[in-house]
Structure 1
């Protein structure tokens, strides 16, 4: 029997969590091995499919935090708990938590870039003994754009959280300014071994990585995700290709030594 790599499987929506007017998390039934930073193709018949990063991993569940931005996602937002979506995946190499164990960890995320790193944050929030320290710097445009509000409250109990907004007035809950503003002051004891993850818009990742390098981090210990280049998931359409690299297959997660060369 010939295997059809494009054939998805149905998955039931177990819960829908609203974050903002345009961003919801869909908690789906799923059994199988999966890593933070990997992605699935989420589809609906007659409407098409869209590559969506995994934003959470549970017992028999996976989360997709989806922004309503087009034909497919508009239709997904018309579905509720008990309905089905169609999935194929997981694709990509993701973030391997083994790389970060027993290290100082810094995660810098911008906007929806918090979604693909949420699995790493959740793992080390629950396994504090497996890391030396964990600092999260997360930036959003405004208060109304903040995702995972309840998670941020819980994360503050087990890690250092710097939540910042692009503009406005500083409050006890958040600071003001771009995420790069808070990288020079990072409390890191050994920058030769400390690990950093950076996910967000391309410009944000570029300047955040530069700031981390100036702070003393090594290129090989900085990890980025080119998730915005994800397409068919199996390297057939060629839309994710940058030079000889296929982001869907070789990424979307890369060490900065490789990822910095992927200029589209």
Structure 2
């Protein structure tokens, strides 16, 4: 019988510094075609521990997966000591991704706060490269300040082809953009209208940010069934056995991490 929690070893291809505490790791992964947008994997180090990390991009043709890793604990501290060519054990991919969202022919709004841009990055790339799949794409990103803006070069490219609002909590953005929380700018989105029959909204970020942003969309008339959230929690087993990611009767690792707001509105904690 196959051990479903046994990791396999993969080679680190490249490491790119994004901020002082966030690095982008590209890892060789021959089975990348199996990954769905919004899924996560468990990265581990022997005798140190394991942590869940969202897949921020992947290539099925070239066989790699990327992970935005923040240095916030024992495991990630040790991962930051690794170099290209080193081996890292991984298992997955796990969870239900954004494939649940029917984006075909829809107006798609994606809202991300801080490192919440990581789980939606691959989906944005996919839509940006295949614009005929959707009716329109609009992006709303929020960061603490200019230094914390992630994937700046990609953001600059995305906004050449798609309407975008980029806001920071304080200071200035890349080109002196808006200041304030993303919730303040939801009413200003171009794709907001009186008819939401063809709109799909995806929100990823800290719990409070997701809570109030989803509430803003709903208050403006977007039906709950057209709003989607992605949860970030401590997935210890990732297969629904340990209960660490459980919220009431829901196991985020199995039933999520992507949830429809009809369910997610009762799970925010």
Name the TM-score, length of structure 1 as normaliser.
0.95
Kindly indicate whether the alpha-carbon contact (under 8 Å) linking 1:110 and 1:201 is maintained by their aligned counterparts in 2.
yes
1:181-233 Cα distance to aligned partner (Å, 9 max, x none): 11011122532220000011111001100111122211001000112253321
- The answer for unaligned runs of 5 or more in structure 1 is none
Q: Return closer, same or farther for 1:97/1:17 CA change in 2, 3 Å cut-off.
A: farther
| Over 4 Å off, 4+ runs | none
Q: 1:16 offset after TM fit, Å?
A: 0.7
Out of 232, 249, 256, the residue aligned to residue 227 of structure 1 is 232
TM-score calculated relative to the size of structure 2:
0.94
Map of 1:21 onto structure 2? 20
Q: Which moved more, 1:153-162 or 1:204-213?
A: 153-162
Q: What is the aligned counterpart of 2:152 among 143, 146, 149?
A: 149
Question: Pairwise CA RMSD of aligned residues?
Answer: 1.5
Q: Distance in 1 between matches of 2:142 and 2:120?
A: 13
Counterparts of 1:50-129 in structure 2, within 5 Å, are 50-58=51-59, 59-96=62-99, 99-129=102-132
1:60-109 Cα deviation digits (max 9, x unpaired): 11110000001100010011111111100000011117611210010111
Size of the alignment, in residue pairs?
Answer: 263
SS in 1 for 2:16: strand
Q: Alpha carbons of 1:147 and 1:169: their partners in 2 closer, same or farther (altered >3 Å)?
A: closer
Q: Aligned with 1:157: secondary structure?
A: helix
Distance 2:101 2:176 in 1: 31
Alignment partners' CA distance in 1, 2:255 and 2:226: 18
Aligned equivalent of 1:195: 200
Say which SS state the counterpart of residue 198 (structure 2) adopts.
Answer: coil
Deviation at 1:41, TM superposition (A): 0.4
* 2:46 equivalent to 1:45: yes
